[in-house]
Amino acid sequence: MTRSRINWIDFGKGLAIFLVLMGHVLLGLYQSEKFPSWNNVLLVIIAQLYIFHIPVFFALSGYFFKPLSTIKEFFDYAKKKTIVLGIPYIFYSIIHFCLQKIAGTTVRIPTTIFDLINIYKQPLGVSWYIYVLWSILMIYGLLSIVVKKRRMLLLISALAYCSTLFVQSDIYIIQRTLVWGVCFLLGSVLSEIHLDRMDAKKFLLFFIPFDLIYMSAWFLFYEVDSKKDYVSYSNPGLWGIAFVVCILFSFILFPKIEKNCPKVFNYFSKYGKDSLGIYIIHAPICSMLRILMLKMGINSVFIHVIAGILLGWYLSIFATYIMKKIPILNIVLLPQKYIKLK
């Protein structure tokens, strides 16, 4: 049975992947240590983006999640999800490794062949999202056979998140699944609630002061030590409350964009359908653009930001388009089209 598309979900994925790309461009500039006078500005924008895009991405991915009925259904489901997410995960990891070898000494933290072999326990680069999403789908898919109510699953995921406030695991997949399951399950629960009927303007009266307070607190406690994470994705602690607020705001606002800003809505909706392809392609493209511009002696942060975002965005879209046209590459984006999953 083919799942019908929901326009505002596509819009949300398109906007989120654009913000992910923007965040990685700015983060690359910050971590390059080539623009020290801009560190504070870059760091504040990065922190703002990082409490929004990936949490919303997880929630949008969880929107269509439904509890499973039997072990047999779970095995069919697990097979499908493993193939659909596993192929792009492996593809990205290989591309990441190869491009780092090409870049040579310009890479800050080089990837070894052993890192590539060990992607089953430690993902490379941005592929961590695919890795953790797969884990969440497996764990909560299996759990849903027993726990049928989504709100109960959300409660379990919230308790799992709270456990990370006190105890952290060194095992990557465990720690990240405990952290991100709550965003995924929140998206599933919100699919049953008509947040689109809420008045976005009234929510803004809450969201704007909250965001100002959050960013002020973050600046005081995080920016003091530039070696700390801008926003920790492995152990966000109480700062993770901002993830939930951003998800709620998004699910209230996104359905209203179609009517109020149709051109913006249609633009990002179009690319939301290709969000996975853009996601796995954008990171190496943006990295290579930054390295190339630095080698060319371009030292203007404005040129790096504008060129990095625009060229990174449209080259990622173009690369995804090319992949869709070549069957041997399109299998990365749509494995279900070429591999029998049932």
What is the rounded distance in angstroms from the CA atom of residue 242 to the CA atom of residue 52? 8
The pLDDT of residue 112: 86
The pLDDT of residue 1: 42
The pLDDT of residue 91: 92
User: Which two three-digit tokens encode residue 9?
Assistant: 């979900």
100-144 pLDDT, tens per residue?
777 665 666 678 899 999 999 999 999 999 999 999 999 999 999
Label each residue of the chain as H, E or C.
Answer: CCCCCCHHHHHHHHHHHHHHHHHHHHHHHHHHCCCHHHHHHHHHHHHHHHCCHHHHHHHHHHCCCCCCCCHHHHHHHHHHHHHHHHHHHHHHHHHHHHHHHHHHHHCCCCCCHHHHHHHHCCCCHHHHHHHHHHHHHHHHHHHCCCCCCHHHHHHHHHHHHHHCCCCCCCCHHHHHHHHHHHHHHHHHHHCCCCHHHCCHHHHHHHHHHHHHHHHHHHHHHCCCCCCCCCCCCCCCHHHHHHHHHHHHHHHHHHHHHHHHCHHHHHHHHHHHCCHHHHHHHHHHHHHHHHHHHHHCCCCCHHHHHHHHHHHHHHHHHHHHHHHHHCHHHHHHHCHHHCCCCC
Answer yes or no: are the C-beta atoms of 74 and 141 closer than 8 Å: yes
Q: For the chain, list residues with pLDDT below 70.
A: 1-4, 103-109, 222-230, 341-342
What is the rounded distance in angstroms from the CA atom of residue 23 to the CA atom of residue 147? 37
What is the rounded distance in angstroms from the CA atom of residue 334 to the CA atom of residue 141? 22
The pLDDT of residue 105: 57
The pLDDT of residue 106: 60
The pLDDT of residue 222: 65
The pLDDT of residue 224: 43
What is the rounded distance in angstroms from the CA atom of residue 4 to the CA atom of residue 207? 31
31-74 pLDDT, tens per residue?
888 888 898 889 889 999 999 999 999 999 999 999 999 999 99
